[in-house]
Chains A and B, each alone.
Chain A
Amino acid sequence: MRGYRALVSARFRALLQYRSAAIAGFGTQLFWGLIRIMIFEAFFLSSTLSQPMAQEDVITYIWLGQAFLVILPWNPDRELGQEIRSGGVSYELLRPLDLYFNWYSRSIALRTAPAMLRAIPMFIVAGLFFELQAPENFVAGLAFAASMVGMVMLSAAITSVLSISMMWTVSGDGITGLAPAVVAMFSGNIVPLPFFPDALQTVLRILPFSSLGDVQFRLYTGNLPVSELPLVFFHIFGWTLFFILLGRWMVARGVKRVVVQGG
């Protein structure tokens, strides 16, 4: 366990170095958030139909989505891809660590460090100027924080699967190319999930993506009552376990095919 913890913190600190990328990303996400909010504002003004979320909750939901955008499992770990191609992966096999959890630890760092760099300024700016609200109440805030940990666990498990898939596909085509759009859409990053047609709600809730932001942000705003928390955790842990087992199975199969060429 200590080995993995050291791995996470080493990667985490390494990734914190990418500050200029974070500044650019922050600017872009601020812009994106503003567009979405103005669109919703206009939609709310044009309709008297009752909506599944209040406008101020939608605004907070959008800002949280922008603040934590990079936690989403939208890309594989590119450095791992490099390692697989160059054969560096054979060094990893020599380490006294389980290969899968070695990579899973890296995924955790990949999902948290860049998010830290963006989330803090986003909370400050959006909180001061653009109507990002505080959590509904203290308990909702705690439920949000706990479920965010779950989001990172699940996202890292999906990221690992994407990374491991590079043992079979060399370039970024195939599923990894589709990942950003699918994840963004079905985690509620483009349109909050409650606005999707009612007929789709059950399916959306069952899919793993609803635990990648949607339930967390709705707990935060109080749109999802805290009493739902056990179900949320059940969903997160179920899918996390599924993706970890899938990843481990893929690694086991992939390693059999590794040919170390020497040199």
Chain B
Amino acid sequence: MSIFNTLYVYYRFLEISVRSQMQYRLSFVMLTFSHFLVTGIEFLGIWILFERFGSLKGWSLAEVALMYGIVSIAFSITDAVMRGFDMFGNMVKAGDFDRLLVRPRSTVLQLMGQELTLRRIGRFAQGFAVLIWAASTLNVDWSLAKIGLLLFAVFGGAALFAGLIVLQATLAFWSTESLEIMNTVTYGGVETTQYPVVVYREWFRNIFIYVVPLASAHYFPAVAIIGRTDALGTSTLFQYLSPLIGFAFFIACLQVWKFGVRHYMSTGS
């Protein structure tokens, strides 16, 4: 199967998904709007704390907002694209996964093509607004390299979150019980990375640098963009390349997924 053909099939999947969501236009608008407000309230919490305390270990609100924006946008992209994997547990329980296996396309393509959740535009818009505010408030000289790094970080972050959701789906092969514990690394990861990782205690920070390397998508690139010297002592070159870790993580998770698919046994229902 050529790559172009695969992309074409994916495009057709998305077209159908978008059209079906547009059948309930009012519902879509309301869900998007409430998503915007719900995620906006999170940022309000950060603002309140900065009002009270002034700064956070030498970080300003605008600097934190830059990281918040990157993570928020990255997660909204993942959340919209990976819906099929997110709902995968139910699919295994119902035995619907068998249908995907008999089709002449990869399972990854078919699951990603399940749905493009458009209402995530709510979070995207909110993250984007915060990012624009941060970008204009910070005293940063926006060179082409820095804009490139920003985009790279957003997509690296999206890939990393996507990897986590693939891992969560893979767990469904072995356990059909509640997989909510994975939410602590996905939603919990979003929550954690609203702030620079250096403000956390060391053991906790290390989890998000080495185990679930979310710091590679928000902290290190943001340090390079702002032009601070990193308290963890990394070089500028590393900071520019660090979003690559997100893509590597995603590819690694796909390998685990393939391993899971090979060991899949249908529930038979």
What A residues does B180 contact at CB under 8 A?
Answer: 21, 24-25, 27-28
Residue of B nearest to A34 (CB): B204
Q: Does B27 contact A181, Cβ atoms closer than 8 Å?
A: no
A45-B57, A171-B27 given as contacts; is B41 within 8 A of A190 (CB)?
Answer: yes
Q: Does B184 contact A43, Cβ atoms closer than 8 Å?
A: no
What A residues does B44 contact at CB under 8 A?
Answer: 185
Q: Mark B151-180, 1 if CB is under 8 A from A, else 0.
A: 000000000000000000000000001101
**Using a CB-CB cutoff of 8 Å, which residues 20-62 of chain A contact chain B?**
20-21, 24-25, 27-28, 31-32, 34-35, 38-39, 41-47, 49, 51-52
Q: Mark A204-230, 1 if CB is under 8 A from B, else 0.
A: 000000000000000000000000000
Number of A-B residue pairs, CB cutoff 8 Å, is 96
Number of B positions contacting A (CB below 8 A): 34
What B residues does A43 contact at CB under 8 A?
Answer: 49, 52-53, 56
Q: Does A191 contact B45, Cβ atoms closer than 8 Å?
A: yes
In the assembled complex, the Cα of A174 lies from the Cα of B37 at a distance in Å of 12
Which one of A173, A184, A185 contacts B31 once the chains associate, using CB atoms below 8 Å? A173
Q: Does A32 contact B34, Cβ atoms closer than 8 Å?
A: no
Interface size class of A (residues with CB under 8 A): 35 or more
In the assembled complex, the Cα of A258 lies from the Cα of B201 at a distance in Å of 57
Residue of B nearest to A181 (CB): B38
Which candidate, B94-102, B192-200, B239-247, is the interface stretch facing chain A? B192-200
Q: Mark A151-184, 1 if CB is under 8 A from B, else 0.
A: 0000000000000000000010110011011101
Chain A residues near B (Cβ < 8 Å): 20-21, 24-25, 27-28, 31-32, 34-35, 38-39, 41-47, 49, 51-52, 171, 173-174, 177-178, 180-182, 184-185, 190-191, 195-197
